[in-house]
Amino acid sequence: MQHHRHPPLPTSPVAYDFQYIEGVNELSAPIPARRPRSNSSDPQTRTVRVSTAFLFPGQGAQTVGMAGDLVAKSPVAKKLFDDAAGILGYDLLDLCVRGPAERLNATDVSQPAIFVASLAALETLRTAEPDAFADVTATAGLSLGEYTALAFAGAISFADGLKVVQARGRAMQAAADANPGAMASLLGGDLAGVEALVAEARSKGKLEVANLLCPGNTAISGSVAAIDEACKLAEGKSFKAVRLAVAGAFHTDLMRPADEHLGAALAGIEIKPPSIPVWSNVDAKPHTDPAEIRGLLVKQVLSPVRWEETIRGLMESGVARFYEIGPGRVLAGLLKRVNRKADIRNAQA
């Protein structure tokens, strides 16, 4: 992995900001992460710095009504949605606030919605807790959330990120329409048990482990018949099967040719070196090289999400505090299953 030298830190405690240039909002270049340090050499006034990671949710976190309060309170959040409407060609905020749920839950809408709503929540956090940004040393996002993390880290602009997310959602929806599939979470048991169940259910069709989320929570993805069989088999084993409300067999080969369409969309945008490492879902490792990031984003569409491994890697790297930024509290729940004592805070959309 290529490493990049970053400029020295400014004195401002605000590490990230939105900047508007000629009416188009972009994430301004984020400030490189600091090592945890003390503000003073005086033991009486010393404030301990805590290495922090910002986490961003993926598809499924959306709910009708999200972002309404943020936009009412934050002009910057409102402008994000105004700009998004111009890029997307429809009123995204209206769908977020009023629905209907069937339209908001569609892959081609939910992905842009979560991307923009999460960045709006980021603005609220910046206003409420500017010091929270000072010690961010890494960022990650679950599936779609990886694009939000890249925008936060300054690797992609808001406009480019939204265009790519829209293309990603459309490509995945088209693949799901062409190759009907489904997903389910298997709760309880261990990974070996999940893999054995998947192997048995493959007699009915394509089936893969799709999301390694946390201990006792693994998502599987495949053909409708194979998911049906897996859910039946789970009843007689140590699992509880929960069908997921998604449009297709995400993170499997059934998503082809969405990866090719996404690759074409990514080829049309600039990806800069992020100012802090962005952890990839594909290999659960931090990356700063634009070429690596571009390739991993394409692979991500067909590859399992290694979220538990990502969280453990972040903690092993020294991260001691997490913020979940965006709609829902799914990531907080997953983190607590990895480490019940973890320090996790939420900035809600």
> Which residues are annotated as catalytic?
143, 251
Calpha distance 281→255 (Å, rounded): 16
Beta strand ranges found along 17-89 (DSSP E): 18-21, 24-27, 52-56
Residue 135, phi then psi, degrees to nearest 5? -120, 25
If we measure between CA atoms, which residue out of 3, 132, 159 comes closest to residue 55? 132
For residue 81, what are the CA distances in angstroms to 103, 125, 219? 17, 17, 32
Calpha distance 179→223 (Å, rounded): 8
Q: What is the DSSP string of 189-255?
A: S-HHHHHHHHHHHGGGS-EEEEEEEETTEEEEEEEHHHHHHHHHHHHTTT-EEEE---SS-TTSGGG
Calpha distance 89→194 (Å, rounded): 42
Calpha distance 225→233 (Å, rounded): 12
Alpha helices per DSSP H over the chain = 68-73, 75-88, 92-98, 101-104, 107-128, 145-152, 158-178, 191-201, 224-235, 258-267, 290-300, 307-316, 330-338
* 144 in Cβ contact with 19 (< 8 Å): no
* 211 in Cβ contact with 191 (< 8 Å): no
Alpha helices per DSSP H over 89-144 = 92-98, 101-104, 107-128
